[in-house]
Amino acid sequence: MPKGIVLASGSVHRRELLKNAGVDFTVRPSELDERAIEAPLLDSGATPEDVAAVLAEAKATDVSQNHPGEIVIGADQTLALGDRVFHKPPTMEEARRTLLALSGRTHTLNSAVVLVENGVVTWQHVAVARLTMRELDPGFIGRYLASVGARALTSVGAYQIEREGVQLMEAIDGDFTTIIGLPILPLLKELRARGEIDG
């Protein structure tokens, strides 16, 4: 008999991906301080992929403690430009700086997803997408941010590829769901293999 599935993320986009795929699940976001977990990882030389995987695992493990016998999905995403790791911009000025830094360059989005049962990681996957942003005129950046408003503060690169953010791009190499933040195809494959969803 299928177990309950819990999504340990408050992300509307991850929720929509799972819902649209027909997965029955509940949402229980983790309250962990991600930056506190991330800081020592970056100091120790962990790769952006490793950071995404550790954060996804930490969030799922945290939520799993209150959901014994259920499958908890943890997910996290990092954006890296060379050695620099970006976070969601706290202000519109920081969003502007993010876009100026990414302008004309190729960055990577590392999306990790894990399954945790009874506090133990039973499966994990990290998918990588590479996005090249076109050269952006500072005036255009200002108009873009004025147009999208506070939505620029809800994603790590200050853009949503499924909306106006696609206008910022010159090339995209990677799966759409990886860019959104939940590599859905490998996750669905694993859930089917376990008999948790119809296959």
What per-residue confidence (pLDDT) applies to 1?
Answer: 61
Question: Considering only CA atoms, which of 39, 37, 40, 67 is closest in space to residue 55?
Answer: 37
In angstroms, what CA-CA distances link 108 with 20, 58, 75, 114, 127?
25, 22, 16, 20, 10
Q: The domain containing residue 95 runs over which residues?
A: 5-193
Give residue 39's pLDDT: 78
- Indicate which residues carry an active-site annotation: 76
| Amino acid, single-letter form, for residue 33 | D
Domain count across the chain: 1
- Tell me what pLDDT residue 37 has: 85
Extract the tokens encoding 115: 């399954």
Q: Residue 30 is part of a domain; what is its CATH number?
A: 3.90.950.10
Q: Which pTM value belongs to this model?
A: 0.90
The predicted structure's pLDDT at residue 33:
82
Query: Does the residue 198 lie in any domain?
Result: no
- Residue 35 falls inside a structural domain: yes
Tell whether 12 is covered by a domain: yes
* Angstrom distance (rounded) from CA 46 to CA 23: 33
Give every residue of the chain whose pLDDT is below 70, as ranges: 1-2
* pLDDT of res. 137: 95
Residue with tokens 């996750």: 187
